[in-house]
Chains A and B, each alone.
Chain A
Amino acid sequence: MNGDEACAEGAVAAGCSFFAGYPITPSTEVSEHLALRLPEVDGVYIQMEDELASMAAVLGASASGARAMTATSGPGLSLMLENLGLGIFLELPCVLVDVQRGSPSTGLPTMPGQSDIMQVRWGSHGDYEIVAYAPWSPQEMFDLTILSFNVADRYRLPVLLMADEVVGHMVERVVIPQPDQIEHWGRKRPGTPPSDLFEPFRPDDNDLVPPMVHAGEGYHVHFTGLTHDERGYPQMSAETHHQLVTRLIEKVRLNAKDITRAESYHMTDARIVVVSYGCTARSAHHAVREARQMGIPVGLLRLISIWPFPDHLFEKLRESADSFIVAEMNLGQISREVERCTRHSVKGVYHAGGAMIPPKPILTAIREAA
């Protein structure tokens, strides 16, 4: 199956019971496949009037207790950023799939891109941390969709699955495990019976995550996009605001090691490190293999999670590696993060989008660095 369909199957396997979306290339197959599958598993599929409404409906369904999801591409994501901010602030778990295409603007609708990296990180207004994964195969479209739901529920936040057109439309074999083999992390729930005194935004000290209450459970909770105290009610003070925004950021940073994922290839003795993700990592993998055959001490660090950025992995490489190459289908968005963490200048192998970066320019960059 293709990556978009694998993503939809991953959602079904994860117990997603609500999808609201608006068609946009190259993510449409996610919607189409869920329109077929969700009615079979007692789930809700609804096509909304736009992406603003899609994201709002997803948050509403999450507040009712559903595992809820939407899928879009760069232009649609721009519209979803408004309510992505609300989701972060109200701590409503959900999954947004962004199958990236050539951008900005309408750009190249049917061709790949990886240029939403910073839109996802900083696009909604205000300070926040975000969680995003970047699959490099249809199998990972399946696996990381499940992980996205688990992390969203565990930490009460929206999670992005940042695919690209190549991975979304690529057809490969996908192994779907038996239902009892699928990992499921549930939402943390209140330990006390319904009471008006329950404080729905009081976090636990160990992970900074407050237990989640759903609509209709009798707790009579209030959720507001205004700055709120632990009772959930508006509290218009600079102190409360600072505390709340800081906690929402610290919640992700504190749990970053549990959230982030990366994979290393030939890294043990590598003096040259290639960093890549998504479909571009497939070319980088090929180039690193060829360079190794030439005897060049090069390794690949493939980012499976994009955000929060795995600073700790790069800090470790600061001394052991001599040079860093970043291959990405944009003009240097992850490069700056790598430069920040390693304090090395980075050699970029970039393309603005529209076609996959082939192994050759990456191999050339490796040879120049050797």
Chain B
Amino acid sequence: MRCYAQAILDSEIPIDNHVVVSGIGCSGRVAGYMNIDSYHTTHGRAIPFATGLKLANPDLMVTVFSGDGDLVAIGGNHLIHTARRNVDIKVICINNFNFGMTGGQAGPTTPKGARATTAPYGNPELPFNLMYLLAASGANFVSRWTVLHARQVKQDILNSFSKPGFTFIEVLAPCPVGFGKSNNIEDGLKEMKVYQERCSLVSNGDVRDKDLVIDLRKEKPIYVGKFVDDDRPPYQPTRIL
């Protein structure tokens, strides 16, 4: 949130034109903490709400700030379709690999085998590789960082403001109580150390690499950086004038 606030101040876009929309969940509360126009909507529907805001007033810089459960599980259909349309909104997705606010249930980013309150024997499902999903859906800009990469996150939010079209920044974040505790990453600092030791800057941006699927419990690199930087024209409503 600090990165977002800093990016707003550095953006040269008037503060009054910045609007934040979020859904439901821990990071969904961001809308209530920012001193700008802010909308805390229904679970999963932040992106279509933001679409309405932006299309009805194109002068607004509309950012959606929400979690992986909100954006990818219940809001998954809106996520892919809005990326496909390339609507000019900026999405920041805080990924903590579980439904944190409701107490640590499994979701579409929970690694296979990881434990959750609704997966006491280990998660039987495969998770999404969000970089691949967003690239395939047509987002103009797709990157991944962790909360340890404060400067890069701020810079990418700033970059996304000047990139017309749909942008998506995934930020990995610890959830020591909901996810960490049952998966041997019981404190936040330990997870930050995992980020520090294993994060590796992606070189070729190939989103099909199966190593992009994140599983913090395994000794393998976590690829971060920019995966898509495209210039497809953003969505424009039809005009006959």
Give residues in A with beta carbon < 8 Å to B. Answer: 17-18, 20, 35, 39-40, 42-46, 48-50, 52-54, 56-66, 68, 82-83, 85-86, 194, 196, 214-226, 233-234
In the complex, what's the smallest C-beta–C-beta distance from A21 to chain B, in angstroms?
Answer: 12
Contact status A44-B55, CB under 8 Å: yes
Contact status B19-A215, CB under 8 Å: yes
Given the contacts A82-B42, A222-B31, A222-B38, A64 and B77 also touching, CB distance less than 8 Å: no
Given the contacts A53-B45, A86-B41, A222 and B32 also touching, CB distance less than 8 Å: yes
Given the contacts A44-B55, A196-B35, A216-B57, A83 and B45 also touching, CB distance less than 8 Å: yes
Contact status A60-B53, CB under 8 Å: yes
Instruction: Indicate whether B238 reaches chain A with its CB closer than 8 angstroms.
Output: yes
Instruction: Indicate whether B50 reaches chain A with its CB closer than 8 angstroms.
Output: yes
Q: How far is the CA of A33 from the CA of B60 in the complex (A)?
A: 28
Per-residue A-contact encoding for B149-168, CB less than 8 Å = 1, 0 else: 00000000000000000000
Q: How far is the CA of A86 from the CA of B46 in the complex (A)?
A: 12
Among B52, B57, B60, B81, which residue has the most Cβ atoms of chain A within 10 A? Answer: B52
Q: How far is the CA of A68 from the CA of B36 in the complex (A)?
A: 23
Contact status B37-A221, CB under 8 Å: yes
Q: How far is the CA of A225 from the CA of B237 in the complex (A)?
A: 29
In the complex, what's the smallest C-beta–C-beta distance from A149 to chain B, in angstroms?
Answer: 15
Q: How far is the CA of A220 from the CA of B32 in the complex (A)?
A: 11
B56 interface neighbour in A17, A82, A217, Cβ under 8 Å: A17
Contact status A45-B237, CB under 8 Å: yes
Given the contacts A53-B78, A196-B35, A216-B16, A226 and B40 also touching, CB distance less than 8 Å: yes
Interface SS of chain B: helix, strand, loop or mixed? mixed
Contact status B41-A225, CB under 8 Å: yes
Per-residue A-contact encoding for B119-146, CB less than 8 Å = 1, 0 else: 0000000000000000000000000000
Measured between beta carbons, the chain B residues less than 8 angstroms from A220 are 16, 35-38
Contact status B37-A216, CB under 8 Å: yes
Contact status A49-B81, CB under 8 Å: yes
Measured between beta carbons, the chain A residues less than 8 angstroms from B17 are 216
B52 interface neighbour in A49, A62, A219, Cβ under 8 Å: A62
Given the contacts A49-B77, A216-B37, A223-B38, A44 and B45 also touching, CB distance less than 8 Å: no
Per-residue A-contact encoding for B212-224, CB less than 8 Å = 1, 0 else: 0000000000000
Contact status B57-A52, CB under 8 Å: no
10 of the cross-chain contacts (CB-CB < 8 Å) are A20-B51, A50-B77, A54-B48, A60-B51, A65-B57, A196-B35, A216-B57, A216-B59, A216-B60, A224-B31
Contact status A57-B52, CB under 8 Å: yes
Given the contacts A49-B81, A220-B35, A225-B42, A44 and B240 also touching, CB distance less than 8 Å: no
Instruction: Indicate whether B21 reaches chain A with its CB closer than 8 angstroms.
Output: yes
Other A-B pairs, 14, CB within 8 Å; known A20-B51, A43-B237, A224-B32: A18-B52, A18-B56, A42-B241, A45-B238, A56-B45, A56-B49, A56-B52, A59-B41, A60-B21, A63-B39, A85-B42, A215-B37, A217-B37, A222-B38
Instruction: Indicate whether B2 reaches chain A with its CB closer than 8 angstroms.
Output: no
Instruction: Indicate whether B239 reaches chain A with its CB closer than 8 angstroms.
Output: yes
Nearest chain-B residue to A37 (Cβ)?
Answer: B240
Nearest chain-A residue to B84 (Cβ)?
Answer: A49
Measured between beta carbons, the chain A residues less than 8 angstroms from B78 are 49, 52-53, 56
7 tightest CB-CB pairs across the interface, nearest first? A60-B52, A64-B56, A57-B52, A53-B48, A61-B56, A56-B48, A61-B52
Measured between beta carbons, the chain B residues less than 8 angstroms from A42 are 239, 241
Contact status A216-B19, CB under 8 Å: yes
Given the contacts A39-B239, A44-B237, A49-B77, A68 and B56 also touching, CB distance less than 8 Å: yes
In the complex, what's the smallest C-beta–C-beta distance from A8 to chain B, in angstroms?
Answer: 15
Measured between beta carbons, the chain A residues less than 8 angstroms from B39 are 60, 63, 215, 222-224
Contact status A46-B55, CB under 8 Å: yes
Contact status B52-A68, CB under 8 Å: yes
Contact status B53-A64, CB under 8 Å: yes
Q: How far is the CA of A128 from the CA of B146 in the complex (A)?
A: 43
Q: How far is the CA of A65 from the CA of B54 in the complex (A)?
A: 11
Nearest chain-B residue to A218 (Cβ)?
Answer: B16
Contact status B42-A18, CB under 8 Å: no
